[in-house]
Every structure is written in C-alpha cells, then in structure tokens.
C-alpha cells in the first residue's frame, strides 16, 4: 500500500529544490468536539478543553482545542499533503503562536512559505530551511503560526 | 473526584505570586513504544516515528517520538503537577526546540523557571509570564526546551 502511494506521489524535494518564497498548501482536516475532548483527556486536561459549559466562564469563552492539538493536526496535514520533502519533515525547533482558539467544527488546513534556506557548513549532505506555516480554518482565520527550522537533505554532487 | 483533589491541592498562584527565578518541577511520565506509535499514527506518521528498523536508516538512528508528542506529554505533566497556576495554563505561544530525540523507555519530567512577569497595561485583571521549561529524561538529558508566554490572572485589588 505504501509503495503504491509512493509510486503515484509527486517527486520529493531536496534542499536544493527549494527557493525563498516557495508556497505550499495542504489538504484539510475537520476537527470535531470528540477529537478535541480525546486529545485534551490524554494531554491537556483543563476545563476549557474538556467541557463547553466550564469553558464559557474562562478566557476562551467556549470549548477550545489544546494549542498542542492544533500543532499535532497541523503536523499531520504537513506530513500527508503539505510539505513534500525528501526524508520527511524533521524539525529542530521553532516559534509557535496561537492567535485565536481552534473550535469544534473548524476545518483546518495549512499554508506554508519558505523563508530561508541555509546549507550546512560542516555537513555537505544537508541543510536547514526556515518555513512559516499558518494553520487556518474554513473562514480563513489564522489559528496557529509556526516558524519552523527544518532539516533537509541535499542532492548528491555530480 | 475532582472536588476532593482540589480540596487537597496546594493554593493556585496568581501573576502577583510569581517572582523571576521561581522554580517548578513536575512529576514523571514513562514513555513506551506503544505510546510513541499511537501518537505517530494519529498525528505524525513518518517512518522514524513508526518503525524502529526504518528509523535506523534516518537521521534519528532509531525510533524516536514525534517532537509534538514530547510537547504534548510535557503539557500533561505541567497541568497535573508542574505549574500550579490559577485559571490553568493558557499559552499564547513560545519558542520550542528539541535538542535530542525522545526514545522509548525515556521517563519524562519537566523543570520550569519564571523568566519574566509583565502585568497587562490595558487589562488590570491579568498579565503575562514567560516561563522556560526543560523536558528531561531519567539521565537528565534535555529533550525539549520551551520558552512559553503564559496568560495569568492577577489578584483583585483590595
């Protein structure tokens, strides 16, 4: 199954194939209350992620997904349809922010732009790309901004 | 059950109760291969998070947890035993890095230090604390560093 999928997929990109300003768009992921509650129970069991009535009395004003849930769904979208990078998506770190809460019923997608490309000085087989990704909902509201440092392989020299 | 737990818990801290340099330590969370695979299947389905043999041929050199899994477990530790903040742990964003991979068998815990405390100018009932948290394993190796901006309530004026 994996093999068939790989055969039909677009070629994967090395660091050398990227350019600053390059844009990528992912598919979509509909997020419902059941997913929000399951993630919160496992990893972020706070009232505003677990119970809509309790959430109404907090800063969130209603049930909201954990920011880490938004980050995790973003990663799934990037892996499946967002960033077709050779060797996968390997992050060394980055800056993350959540400008507004992710709500039940939001349909998430990710738009990404390459900001920087830096070949490694010490390792000629790899380099770093800085990629800024906005996770948006179906109303184009930005739920998360992640500026990530990603490690990519380079094409072998001729 | 929640009520009993709350009755026995230490008092929760407002922004006014924090000081720069204040230290917090969480309990521990043992991470096994089953947890790593389950998270990866749900949110980060890449070979180095799903299959030890495949992972050995990658930069990771063996099965590693998704960085977002390390972040999610860190959040659970902070909520349950790390940061006893009034109103819960509400993050606006932050900087995250993963200096080394999280491995099956790692026992995670979090050490946190308050770096900055900034009352809101426009809203006297709240403010921002910058908290630096290191997620470590049982060998004191740092797996994740998160410098988070957290929103905390202030005590009501007399």
pLDDT-derived band at B156 (thresholds 50, 70, 90) equals: confident
* Residue B97 CB neighbour total at 10 angstroms: 16
Q: Dihedral of CA B38/A101/B134/A119: which sign?
A: positive
Flag if A43 and B68 touch (Cβ within 8 Å): no
Flag if B94 and A92 touch (Cβ within 8 Å): no
Can you name the residues that pair with A131 across neighbouring β-strands? A114, A148
pTM: predicted TM-score of the whole model, two decimal places = 0.93
Helix ranges, B9-154 (H): 33-43, 47-50, 52-55, 67-77
pLDDT at B7: 47
DSSP A13: B
Length of chain A measured in residues: 158
The distance of B66 to chain A (nearest Cα, Å) reads 9
* Residue A23 CB neighbour total at 10 angstroms: 8
Q: For A29-43, A98-112, B7-21, B85-99, which range has the lowest pLDDT when averaged over its residues?
A: B7-21
pLDDT tens-digit series, residues B22-55:
999 999 999 999 999 999 999 999 999 999 999 9
Give the residue from chain A lying closest to B149, CA to CA: A97
CA–CA distance, A52 with A103 (Å, rounded to integer): 10
Sequence-separated (6 or more) residues with CB below 8 Å from residue A13? A84, A85, A86, A152
The distance of A111 to chain B (nearest Cα, Å) reads 18
Give the residue from chain A lying closest to B100, CA to CA: A92
Residues of chain A positioned with their CB less than 8 A from the CB of B73: 43
To probe the interface with A, which of B44, B102, B110, B125 has the most A CB atoms within 10 Å?
B44
* Helix, coil or strand: residue B69: helix
Give the residue from chain B lying closest to A2, CA to CA: B47
Flag if A76 and B44 touch (Cβ within 8 Å): yes
Of A66, A73, A93, the CB nearest to B75: A66
Chain B positions touching chain A (beta carbons under 8 Å): 39, 42-48, 58-60, 66-68, 71-73, 75-76, 79-80, 87-98, 145, 151
Give the residue from chain A lying closest to B144, CA to CA: A93
Flag if A94 and B96 touch (Cβ within 8 Å): yes
CA–CA distance, A50 with A58 (Å, rounded to integer): 12
Q: What is the mean pLDDT of chain B?
A: 93
pLDDT tens-digit series, residues B15-31:
999 999 999 999 999 99
DSSP of B12-42: PBPGGG--TT-EEEEEEEE--HHHHHHHHHH
Tell me the average pLDDT across B66-94. 97
* Helix, coil or strand: residue A77: helix
Sequence-separated (6 or more) residues with CB below 8 Å from residue A17? A155
pLDDT tens-digit series, residues B145-155:
999 999 999 99
The fold of the A15-153 domain, in CATH, is: Thiol Ester Dehydrase; Chain A (3.10.129)
> How far is the CA of B55 from the CAs of A88, B36, B49, in angstroms?
12, 13, 7
Q: How many CB pairs under 8 A join A and B?
A: 92
Q: Which is it for strands A107-119 and A23-30: parallel, antiparallel or unpaired?
A: antiparallel
pLDDT at A8 exceeding the cut of 80: no
Nearest alpha carbon to residue A66 among B148, B144, B67, B90? B90
Tell me the average pLDDT across B102-119. 98
DSSP B10: P
The distance of A19 to chain B (nearest Cα, Å) reads 23
The complex's ipTM works out to: 0.93
The distance of A75 to chain B (nearest Cα, Å) reads 6
Residue B131, H or E segment: strand B126-136
Of B66, B89, B145, the CB nearest to A75: B66
The distance of A98 to chain B (nearest Cα, Å) reads 6
């Amino acid at each position: 199954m994996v093999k068939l999928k790989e055969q039909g997929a677009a070629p994967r990109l090395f660091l050398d194939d990227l350019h600053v300003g390059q844009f990528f768009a992912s598919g979509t992921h509909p997020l419902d209350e059941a997913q929000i509650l399951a993630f919160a129970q496992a990893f972020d069991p706070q009232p505003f992620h677990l119970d809509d009535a309790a959430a109404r009395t907090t800063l969130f004003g209603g049930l909201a997904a954990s920011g880490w849930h938004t980050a995790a769904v973003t990663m799934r979208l990037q892996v499946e349809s967002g960033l077709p990078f050779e060797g996968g998506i390997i992050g060394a770190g980055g800056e993350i922010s959540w400008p507004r809460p992710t709500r039940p019923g939001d349909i998430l997608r990710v738009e990404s732009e390459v900001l920087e490309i830096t070949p490694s000085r010490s390792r000629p087989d790899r380099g770093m790309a800085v990629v800024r990704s906005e996770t948006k909902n179906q109303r184009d509201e930005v739920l998360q901004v992640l500026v990530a440092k990603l490690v990519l392989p380079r094409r072998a020299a001729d």
